[in-house]
Structure 1
Amino acid sequence: MISYCIVYPHPLYNLGLVSLMEKFKPGQTACIRTGLYPKECLLKISDWLGELIFIGVFSKGNDEIKLVEAIKKKSKKSQILLISTPEYSEVTRKCFIKGANGLVYVHSSEDLFLDALTRIISNEVVMPHGFRIHPDLNQMVANQRAAGRLDFHLTFREKEILALICKGLNNRTISEQLFISDQTVAVHRKNLFRKMGVKNSISLMQAAREKRLIPLL
């Protein structure tokens, strides 16, 4: 049974998500709460936490960012799926940095949304096509040249894989693009975690951003 809650105070939006969750896993989902406000959630997080948390991001404030951070501090196992539009990309980027696991746009098709749910439940990172957590790649190149030496060394292949991870690609897709096995990608991903001192892909993306790192492709 997959327990979930919806953080967005819009009845029709909530009904739509509940219906999609029933299609996703008929008879295997349980809705804990709907219609929640971010500020309300921050006060009593333990009362509504589920395995899957939908957060609607339709404002340019900081409440959703604070909520994502608070959820991840309380429960590492909770998967957070943001639902938003490109207009609020700056907020959703910050939510990813704080630990959000995925993003789908509100205008996405039903099939795309259900695919995103499957990937989220499998602990994959889900992002819309063209969405990036990190800055523009050209700017990152300039930043790296200005930053000088790093405190660790990445191989050419690790840099290739880091670039694709930062685009939100999973191991299978990366292996297909680079013509290597899934297992090889997994080993490189673990090496990147170790070298950059992180424990998951979201933290890896954040570290790459903070260190102004760009793969030399």
Structure 2
Amino acid sequence: MMKPRLTIFDEPMLYTEGLSRLLTQSKIFSTIDICNSLETLSQHLKEEPPEMLVMSSNMLMLTEICKLVESIISQHKNTKIIVIGSSYDVIDMRKLFNKGIKGYLDKDCTYDEFLKSINVLLLNEIYICDHAKEKMMNFISSEQEKQSPHIKEPLTRREMEILKLICDGCSSKDISEKLFISINTVETHRKRILLKLNAKNSVGIVKYAIENHIID
């Protein structure tokens, strides 16, 4: 397999040259080019688009990075882009991934994590650094808390029975066979449970059951 080519779009020169020398020792890439301006980057992309491009938020504002990513990927579909961001929030990271980046690292990432991200991208997967991942998890759990089910009226004994079976992963068909009731009756109970718990789906039901120690 041919070694990929890498382009680093960043400044200052001292940092980019140092990174380039470290990466040369790693023998992952066939060539490593440094671009310190948009002009040199666009010229370089025209002549020899690399398989991998590392782009730093030092160079541009987030909106400009989004535009640049979009335009590079529309012209060079095989170029995998890693953005090194300055502690972007989850919404901004999502924007970048929606535009087509394949990796995101925060500025405080180590060289080892940088190497790890490159190896993951070479396997055609996406990479998000640990620090950013933690942010995403916190964001998701706080979003879920906002939507957590608040019970409107207590569940009946039958609804409680069905709730436990839903939490056990039983389908409506399984529940109807276990409780000797029709699937329609199960579906009606299920709808009532969702309504009472103000939950959107089975995940909401399970979450409610765990939070209220109905199941462990």
TM range (shorter): 0.5 to 0.7
Give the deviation of 1:57 after TM superposition: 1.5
Per the alignment, residue 148 of structure 1 pairs with: none
CA contact (8 A) 1:140 1:214 kept: no
- Whole-angstrom CA distance in 1 between matches of 2:119 and 2:90: 23
Please tell me the residue identity of whatever aligns with 2:101: A
Per the alignment, residue 55 of structure 1 pairs with: 55
Per the alignment, residue 120 of structure 1 pairs with: 121
Pairing of 1:79-90 with structure 2 (within 5 A): 79-87=80-88, 90=91
TM-score (norm 1): 0.55
| Secondary structure of 2:50's aligned partner | coil
Per the alignment, residue 6 of structure 2 pairs with: 4
What do residues 53-101 of structure 1 show as CA deviations (whole Å, max 9, x unaligned)? 0000135442211111112111221111111231566544322110000
- Whole-angstrom CA distance in 2 between matches of 1:98 and 1:142: 28
Which of 20, 28, 31 is matched with 1:18 structurally? 20
The higher radius of gyration belongs to: 2
Report how many aligned residue pairs link the two structures.
149
Please tell me the residue identity of whatever aligns with 2:26: F
- Whole-angstrom CA distance in 2 between matches of 1:63 and 1:37: 13
With a CA cutoff of 8 Å and minimum separation of 6, indicate the structure with the bigger relative contact order.
1
Closer, same or farther: CA 18–68 of 1 in aligned 2, 3 Å: same
CA contact (8 A) 1:5 1:53 kept: yes
Give the deviation of 1:137 after TM superposition: 4.6
Please tell me the residue identity of whatever aligns with 1:139: E
Give the deviation of 1:3 after TM superposition: 0.8
Superposed CA RMSD in Å reads 3.6
CA contact (8 A) 2:66 2:95 kept: yes
